[in-house]
Amino acid sequence: MFMIVRTWAGRLAPAALLALAAFVLWRELGRLDPAEIWVEMAGWGPVRIVGAVSLTLVSYALLAAMEWLGLKWSGASVPFRTVLLGSFCANAFAHTIGFAVLIGGAVRARLYARSGVSLLSVAQTSIFCAVSFGCGIAMLAGLALLVEPSPPVLGLQLHPLLGAALGLVLTLAPIAYVGACALFRGPVRLGGRSVSLPSPGIAAGQVLVGLADNVITAMVVWLLLGGVGITYATFAGPYAIATAAGVISSVPGGAGVFEGSVLALLPSAPRPALVAAFLGYRLIYYLIPLGIAALALARSGLVPNALDLAGIRKAWRRFAPALLALGALAQGVVLILTSVGRIDPGRLAILRETVPAVVLETSHLISLVSGLALLAVSLPVARRHANAAPVAVVAALVGASTALLRGLDVGPAIAAIALALGVVLARDAFTRRGAWPLRQMLPWWLAGTAAVLVGAAILGLWVYEDTPYEARLWAEVGYHADPARFLRSMALLGAALLAAGAWALARLSGPSATPASPMELDAIRGLVEAGSDTTSRLALIGDKALLRSAAGDAFIMYGAEGRSLIAMGDPVGDPDAGRDLLWRFKELADATDARPVIYQVSPHWLTAYLDLGLSLLKLGEEARVPLADFSLEGGRRAKLRQGHAKAVREGLSFEVVAPPQSAVLLADLRNISDAWLVGHGGREKGFSLGRFDPHVLAAEPIALVRHEGRVVGFANIWTAGSEEASIDLMRHLPDAPRGVMDFLFVELFLWAKTQGFAWFNLGMAPLSGLAHHPLAPAWHKIGAQIALRGSRFYGFTGLRAFKAKFDPVWTPRYLAAPPTALAAALLDATRLVGRAPPTPLTNP
């Protein structure tokens, strides 16, 4: 009989709670005017909205910590990034749909399956989080009753002793749970099942995180409730009871039950303020996270494909840049035009109470700058430039915040936030690297900004036609200084347009370098192959322009960056023709008002550069291994010999594949290269470095390292006559055996020696070989400090040490540039090397 009653009670309780909540809501809100609710919401102000959003972020961070503790207790090992995603999605869905253990568990099972987490561990984690929530809500209610033991309940005062006793019980219950975890360390029988309790430390963390989460979540509603005479302690108890009732009801999100319970438990609270707080709470804490979680799951590919989500993602990736570019353009125009008009009197009254005048004035100007930035970034967004996405996100978020602070412009703020969110969700669509297309972008930006400026001026003159112009308006500040802000806005927009136009005129007339055509590359191939320096092979990559002698017996390869025309290395070919080419190169730079710069010059040509009136800056030292006496014999090579022997024992083998290379091999090497790039900055560099170009690699010898038959690393081999061999790319898989680079270089040295080469060029070690002396030149002191303190960003000292163990001969390399522009030339050269190269027209 008892089991039947308990079963029917469990079935009827949710329905009874929902019916009771519906009655309370009808009784309390039946005569409420929606306009009153809107007035309350309009009075929140940006401070309360930002506070509620910030508290929501803190709450979800605490839920992630709770998730991590649960996974640790279950014995699962999951990357913390995956934990953040799993916790956020599971809780966002469970909060809104209800049935937290089942819904949250289902989401966790799909997300954690890739990390090898079993269903048992998922179930244990879900139960752990549910217990943490229960302990936290109980302790919150208990502490609220201890602080205020006689709160009003259903219009009646609870007796202080009864309230304090109930509060003590609720507070001690979670503490007793932690004590039980400390006392019963082995399996415990509960309901006929064997359960292992968490360790005392984990249990304490479980309770504390659960309490902190519930404290923060209650604070979200209380903050939106605002100053209505209800203290947090008074509100926390009813909140905890209402939350528990919502969970018991099994209604999705406790909708209606939570609200009706709070209304019943706080009869003296103003109804419009409570309802407004409920709506804000549901939006900020439930609906927005639910939407973000749904999009995150869709992007992760873990949602069932009934709606062809893969097709939707593909279409979004294809069309998102164009749509977002239009959005950025429109949002920039809106931010600028809405800054022209007068602030609504109702909003102005709220701003006077919440935002200092100096913040309002500053936000107005920053909002204009954000609008200009969005106008500027719209074209790079449309062209899928990777570095345009973060600029658009920052500009949109700054525009959203300043739109609220300058005039409570909620519509533009929401649109800006939606734009930022869209760019973040479509970030994989922005794949182009390198500098923005300034030559194509500037004319459009100038025309668009001019049109917006004219439109804003016309709009402002119409709005303020009844305000006579006075010079004092320019300096007027304050809440009612709308005409003054309009004048300053026009001045700022005009100054930006003028400065950009002047900069454009200077920039668009700068130097340029058109990459060599396949026919030009064929014409210099003989000079490259007959030379004695493998650096000359950089010309065949196809990303540089060529300056050739009239007889075709010498050439200079060069690129352009900023105000510099930059040659890569010394002239190639006949030395006398090369000296004449250097003067032609200087004439070419002078004709475009550019500075002539030669990058990585050798000591052999120093006199020629000094004759050109250039100064020298030491870049580093190049390492060349003499092959005539290279071997693994002797005590000096003991470490290399032992490392090589160990690599062979571990299954590494070496092979040089002669050209032409097969498409199958190049596809395998592409996968290795892509994996290597992920761990080394994510993109190719250019100018002084090669890149993975299958057309170029197909015509070059490739050195392969295999591990038990699988290719795990490779290098393409460059040669210069019979004098020197070198490599361009050297890449390996992340899971390749340790020591694969040493093994590859040793094998390359031995192979090059058997082929009759005299030297093997290991390339330059930047900022090495600089003088360490109190009287050393300033650049040597600066470069030494960069090498010492910049190792976390680039392994200056590590690279030098790696090359030094092969006992190379070190040769200095320099930058040659006009004496007054050495620093600017170095910056331009650095930018040129770091810029992703264009797709060349190669003809191997």
**Mean pLDDT of the residues in the chain:** 78
pLDDT tens, residue by residue, 713-761: 999 999 988 889 999 888 999 888 888 888 999 999 999 999 999 999 9
Distance CA 376, CA 388 (A): 10
What gap in Å lies between CA 416 and CA 405, rounded to an integer?
Answer: 14
> Where does the pLDDT of residue 2 fall: very low under 50, low under 70, confident under 90, or very high at 90 and above?
very low
What is the identity of the amino acid at 535? T
Confidence bin at 575 (pLDDT 50/70/90): very high
- Segment 170-184 shows an average pLDDT of 85
> Residue 452: in which H helix or E strand, if any?
helix 438-463
Residue with structure tokens 């340790």? 738
φ, ψ of residue 421 to 5 degrees: the values are -65, -40
Contact 784, 770 (CB under 8 A): yes
Output the six-digit token pair for 118.
Answer: 């079993």
Q: What is the mean pLDDT of residues 247-257?
A: 65
Q: For 772-810, what is each residue's pLDDT tens digit?
A: 888 888 887 777 777 666 555 566 677 788 888 888 999
- Token reading at 811: 């040769």
The 3 state secondary structure assigned to 108-139 is: HHHHHHHHCCCHHHHHHHHHHHHHHHHHHHHH
Q: Which two tokens stand for residue 50?
A: 């930002």
Q: What confidence score (pLDDT) does residue 585 get?
A: 93
Q: Is 718 helix (H, G, I), strand (E, B) or coil?
A: strand
What average pLDDT does this structure show over 71-88? Answer: 82
Residue 842 has pLDDT above 80, yes or no: no
| Average of per-residue pLDDT across 633-655 | 88
Which pTM value belongs to this model? 0.47
* Residue 812 pLDDT level (bands cut at 50, 70, 90): very high
pLDDT band at 816 (very low <50, low <70, confident <90, very high): very high
Other beta carbons less than 10 A from residue 314's beta carbon: 11
Q: Does the pLDDT value for residue 584 go beyond 90?
A: yes
Average pLDDT rounded to a whole number, residues 765-770: 83
Give the Cα separation of 725 and 89 in Å (integer).
Answer: 55
User: By C-alpha distance, which of 275, 358, 322 is closest to 34?
Assistant: 275
Give 551-606 as a 3 state SS string: CCCEEEEEEEECCEEEEECCCEECHHHHHHHHHHHHHHHHHCCCEEEEEEECHHHH
Give SS3 for 763.
strand
Burial class, 679, CB count within 10 angstroms (exposed 0-12 / middle 13-18 / buried 19+): exposed
Of 542, 560, 600, 521, nearest to 761 by C-alpha is: 600
Q: Do 209 and 66 form a contact (C-beta atoms < 8 A)?
A: yes
Name every residue whose Cβ is closer than 8 Å to that of residue 833 and which is 6 or more positions away in sequence: 685, 686, 687, 688, 689
Confidence of residue 91 (pLDDT cuts 50, 70, 90): confident
Torsion angle (degrees, nearest 10) of CA 432, 437, 442, 443: -110
Q: Phi/psi at 815 (nearest 5 deg)?
A: -110, 130
Residue 337 Cα to chain centre, angstroms:
31
